[in-house]
Amino acid sequence: MTKLSVNINKVALIRNSREGNLPNLVQIAKDCEAFGAEGVTVHPRPDERHIRYSDIPALREVVTTEFNIEGNPTEKFLKLVLDNPPAQCTLVPDPPGALTSSQGWDTHTHQAFLSDVIARLQERGIRVSVFIDAEERHVEGARAAGADRVEFYTGDFALTFPENPEEAVAPHTRCAQLANKIGIGVNAGHDLNLDNLRYYKEQVEGLLEVSIGHALISDALYFGLQNTIQMYLSTL
């Protein structure tokens, strides 16, 4: 069974557009779980334009399924994660001003750095996933660095999927087969939606978890949060 983790960044973005606490991020996280989500994902960025660093302790306290914190492992980010240990930390190589996560790690160039960060997180009992493009060499590099999982960047897949689904998913299929062979878990995220999710899951062997935010929250504007989460679970 592939788990659905709901990324609530876009909810925080709406909250931050006004003063106050509407919508209430903690309540949204609790409701996502009550509606069937098997995890909650957040991605605090340096400018705190959506998830704020101050949100993390309160969310860490209420999430009872799987709390996943994504981000670029700066010292400030690592302190936040180590002080509020989640079930999983996903390492993402975002530059400070990045609009969204659109590129994975070069796990060979940065292997020594990743090995150190991964070890520090694992010492606190945190499962570590490394965000990568779907290339075999990056799967191997993540495994060599000691990661528990990789998260495939699926933006390119989503872009190509409408015209050529087989070509779009082929690198992900190959990389998942390799990951399963060498003993590293597979997650995926970015631009997965109700149109492409089922096909992706069927073609990617051993997919453990998907993290979905933008599309899911957009769908919830029409269908409601509870219905939308159920629709994604049904698709999986």
Residues with active-site annotation: 43, 70, 190
| CA–CA dist 135, 132 (Å, integer) | 8
Nearest to 101 by CA among 190, 197, 171, 12: 190
| CA–CA dist 145, 117 (Å, integer) | 9
Contacts of 32 (CB under 8 A, 6+ apart): 6, 8, 40, 225, 229
| CA–CA dist 233, 194 (Å, integer) | 10
| CA–CA dist 183, 2 (Å, integer) | 17
